[in-house]
Amino acid sequence: MYKISEYLKDERIILELKSKKKEEAIRELCELLKGSPEITDFNKFVEEVFEREKLGSTGIGQGVALPHARSSYLNKFVVCFGRSQRGVDFESIDSEPVKLIFLLGTPKDDVENYLKTLAHLSRLLRKEDFRESLLKAETKEEIIEIFKKYEEC
């Protein structure tokens, strides 16, 4: 399992997404990875994220979305975080706007860690105080510190 706090970096956090729609928000987060050493083909990776999204919305409810892909074009786990105070229409299972979006990617052959990480992140996001902390954080550093705190528990 990957600890999110070990992979989340300042340059991969957007405190206020410009996007109002799902596709735009995913693309906005993907752009943070452009030129990253973890990605061997940026455009193909983005395609895979959208292919996964076509299978069903990754808006999991309670204002949270986890767009993700297992990709042949990644050599290492990546995570980006975007927040929208007004909310993004993500076609979520509860039809509520999404305010917290985590874009995740992992190498295609790293299935076990990937599934454990998705489960770990889902468990954290079920905690209302965790979600509230992420919504109230004023800096990117605070976002990372919140993860560190909750991942130590």
Question: Does the annotation mark 68 as catalytic?
Answer: yes
| Catalytic residue (one of 4, 7, 32, 68) | 68
Query: DSSP label at 153?
Result: -
Q: How far apart are CA 153 and CA 71, in angstroms?
A: 30
Structure tokens at 32: 């943070």
Backbone angles phi, psi at 74, to 5 degrees: -120, 140
Residues 60 and 93: beta-carbon distance below 8 Å: yes
For 138, the 3-state DSSP assignment is coil
Contacts of 52 (CB under 8 A, 6+ apart): 58, 67, 68, 69
Q: Provide the annotated active-site residues.
A: 68
